[in-house]
Amino acid sequence: MRAILFLCLLEAAFIHANDYSWRGPASTGTGPVDPSTENVCLTDQASCGCCLMQQQIHRMKEFFNMSLNELEKELVKTKTALNNVRASRSAFSVALTNQEKLNCFGPFRDDRLIPYSHIFINLGGGYNAVTGIFTVPRSGVYSLALTVYSDAGSPGNTLAACASLLVNGQLVAGPRERNMQDQEDSASIVFALHLKAGDKVAVNLPIGCFLCDNSSHYNTFTGFLLYATD
């Protein structure tokens, strides 16, 4: 690339050579000028224009080399920033199960974290399917979404579709539906939340609640980084 720039500069220099009052070595009858001669203007007045042109080419070459070096530095900075953005990408989307038959998780006699076993995407590896916990990889604003669904099995049975979204064990939000009028019901919540690197995000199943799911993926848990703040 530098060779191409130098050729372009050389061509530009020859175009502007007519601005100098010289007619070339051939017209002087003294023969070709030694390019290694530093004081050519002192020894050969007719070749002074050539000397000035060489000096101009040298200055232009130094200028463009300096500009190219600056561009290369900026390119390195840009690539580094882009790699940092790519490295900080974080997104997950999971479902309770992927079985064909409808199965229910719960009810239990104590609170339990819900291990969403079917993973649609886990970009950055922040979600752990064994524990059901998403560990925040980088501080920033995250979009979180939770959908719950339950089926009482038959009319008249108690329906208890409920779940709680926790951050570091603290309740943030949670849809809840308990009644004996519906056989099945669902609810969804979507919100943005500022999280810090290392925060633990999970969904808790309260005592007495149960969720039902199959390959239709009625129960989902999703989160992704909107923008980093560090």
Identify the pLDDT of residue 74. Answer: 86
- Among 103, 89, 139, 126, which residue's Cα sits nearest to residue 202? 126
* pLDDT tens-digit map of 60-96: 888 888 888 888 888 888 887 776 666 668 999 999 9
Phi and psi at 190, nearest 5°, equal -140, 130
Q: HSE (CB half, 13 Å, CA atoms) of 134?
A: 32
Which H or E run includes 104? strand 103-105
With beta carbons less than 8 A apart as the criterion, state whether 94 and 222 touch. Answer: yes
Terminal-to-terminal C-alpha distance of the chain: 37
DSSP letter assigned to residue 164? E
Please tell me the distance from the alpha carbon of residue 26 to that of residue 22, in angstroms, as a whole number.
11
Cα 21 to Cα 31: distance, rounded to the nearest angstrom:
18
Closest residue by Cα to residue 208 from 103, 112, 114, 97: 112
Cis peptide before 107 (omega within 30 of 0): yes
Per-residue confidence band for 25, with pLDDT thresholds at 50, 70 and 90? very low
| Distance (Å, whole) CA 111 – CA 107 | 9
For 197-207, the pLDDT digits (tens) are 999 999 999 99
